[in-house]
Structure formats: structure tokens, C-alpha cells
Amino acid sequence: HIHLQHTSTLSQTYNTSLATLSSIPPSHLQLDETAIDELVGNELLTTHEEVLADLSTLKTTRATLLETAQAQYELEKEVVRYLPWLKGGMKVDEDEVKFCNGLLEKLELLKVIHADAKAVRDKKRDDEARQKALEEAEARRREEEEERKRSLEDAMKSKEMEAKPGMVWNKQLREYQYLHDHTEESWRD
């Protein structure tokens, strides 16, 4: 990681140096005696100062480029140490890619089976849900029926609780009835 950062820094330094070199006017780098002969006075002094500044820039940039090249060379020598490790990493990566490709093939085969299994599972869940709904509906119906019977009994009992003297509760008919008096013979009349 550090080597990559250092390489990036060296690359930036190199590009900056190239930009500095390209900023120097070509006329200051080439000897054109006829153009120099035409300069006089302040123009000659100004051009002389500019050429001296550009020469200084050239020396500084040359030193920077030399340092950059030497640092790059040292990094390249150091990188050689990592080549066996990188080759080993690439081999591991190739093995992992082969393994992943094998898994992908198996997954493609399983996709067909999975679709069938999913359809069966969904049908089973639907059947179970339908059966549960039917059972719940039946339980509600029974509960409602029992509640209805209880309420009828309660209603009948409450109505009939006002039984008159001589009446008895008949469980089968769910009502109070008069108890027949065997001694009474009025029915024979």
C-alpha cells in the first residue's frame, strides 16, 4: 500500500517536472545567434535574466527528474521481491474462480430442482392454510352453535323460570310442564 502511494507521488512529481519543462520557451533553449544579435539594451538584459532563470529551472528540474528516476528504480527493484507472492496470489485467485464457476454450474442444475421443490412447498403451504381455515371455520361454527344453544336454554329458562305451582322442568322439551296428578280423574269425564 505504501509502495503504491510512493509510486503515485513519484508519478505526480514527474508530471509536474514535465509541465515545468514545457513552460520554458523553446527560444531560450536553442541558440539562435541572429535573434540574439538583434537584441539591444534592456531587451538583451531582460532576455539574459529570463534565460538565466530558465537555466536555473532546468538544473532544478533535472535534479528532480534524476531523484524521481532513482526512487522509481529502487521501487522497481523492491517490487521484484513481491513477484513470487503475487504469482501465488494469482494462482489462488484462479483456483477460486474455477471453484466459483463450478458452483455456478451446480446452481444452474439446482435451479430446475429448486423451482419444482418451491412449487411443491407452496402447494403444501396453501393446502395447510386451506385446511387450517376450514378447521377454524368448523370450530367457529361449533362454538356459535353451542353459544346459540346456551342462549336458547338461558332464554327458555329465564322465561320459564316463572314456573307456576305444580310445574316441573322437562329436559327433553326444555320447558316447564304441569305434573299430572294420578289421583285426579277429571280426564275420564
Round to whole Å and give the CA distance between 115 and 103.
18
Q: Could you tell me the pLDDT band of residue 158, with boundaries at 50, 70 and 90?
A: low
Assess whether pLDDT exceeds 60 at residue 161.
no
pLDDT band, residue 89 (cuts 50/70/90): very high
Q: Distance (Å, rounded) from C-alpha 13 to C-alpha 124?
A: 70
pLDDT tens-place string over residues 61-85? 888 888 888 888 888 888 788 888 8
20 CB-contact burial (10 Å; exposed 0-12 / middle 13-18 / buried 19+):
middle
Return the pLDDT at 29: 63
Cβ neighbors of 152 (< 8 A, separation 6 or more) are 174
How does pLDDT run across 163-185, given as a tens digit for each residue?
666 677 777 776 767 676 666 66
pLDDT score at 53? 83
Q: What is the pLDDT of residue 187?
A: 53
pLDDT higher at 23 or 147 = 147
The pLDDT tens digits of the residues spanning 3-42 come to: 677 777 888 888 888 788 778 777 666 666 666 666 667 7
What per-residue string of b and e applies to 52-88 under the rule 16 or more CB within 10 Å gives b? eebeeeeeebeeebeebeeebeeeeeeeeeeeeeeee
Q: What is the pTM assigned to this prediction?
A: 0.40
pLDDT at 24 (0 to 100)? 76
Q: How far apart are CA 105 and CA 90, in angstroms?
A: 23
- The per-residue pLDDT of the chain, averaged, comes to 80
User: Is pLDDT at 188 greater than 60 in this prediction?
Assistant: no
